[in-house]
Each structure stands twice: as structure tokens, then as C-alpha cells.
Amino acid sequence: MNNKRIFFRFLFGGAAALAAVVLAANFTKITAAPPDDTRMILEHTHRTYISPPCYEQAQKTNHIAESTLGEARTHSYSPESACTEQSLQPIQITLSAWLQEKLGIQKGKWDW
């Protein structure tokens, strides 16, 4: 009888701890920034980069290439427009949403 009580106490304690972690993850906000592997278009003539949502309205030449944000920063390219700058601003998201993005369960803001 004593072993059963200990088992149920551990079981209840574990379930309560898990529930507390899940609850905290759903309410805890963190700042998320676009990762270096975020897809970008490099505009080599003007040495700028364009985020895909801003491509149609961007001032561009034919000297473009698909790359990443990390590569654009490595070459010291600057954002092509305010649209690109705004699309790459860090955001406040819950810890659980961030974790789901990292695990590939849901798409992130910068999954273009």
C-alpha cells in the first residue's frame, strides 16, 4: 500500500510540474529575431538586400541573386527599403510558439 501512495504522489507531482511548464510556456514572451538563414534577395548593383514580401515594390536591377540574411550581412549590404527593414524587425512571441517554430511544427514569421 505504501508503494502505491508513493507512485501516485510521483505521478501527480510530475503531471503538476508538466502542466506548470506548459502553462508558463504559453504566457512567457520572448523576443525573436530573424535567423541568419532567412531567405533574401541580394541586389548586387546597389549592394542591398530585399526580403521576399517586398520584392515586387523594390528598386532592383537584373543583377540579383537568392541568398540569406547572414550572407547579406557578411557582405555589408543594407536593406533596400523601409519595407525590408520592417519585415525583419524582431517580434514578441510566446515561448511555446518559438519552440514550435524551431521544431518545425508551425511556420515562423520569416519562413518565406
> Of 38, 34, 37, 78, which is closest to residue 58 (Cα–Cα)?
78
pLDDT at 10 over 70: yes
38-79 pLDDT tens trace: 999 999 999 999 999 999 999 999 999 999 999 999 999 999
Alpha carbon separation from 108 to 8, 9, 19, 57, 93 (Å, rounded) = 39, 39, 25, 23, 10
Amino acid, single-letter form, for residue 35: P
Q: What's the pTM?
A: 0.75
Q: Phi and psi (nearest 5°) for 44?
A: -70, -30
Torsion angle defined by CA atoms of residues 76, 77, 82 and 84, in that order, rounded to the nearest 10 degrees: -110
Greater confidence (8 vs 41) lies with 41
- Three-state SS annotation for 27-49: HCEEEECCCCCCEEEEECCCCEE
pLDDT at 75: 95
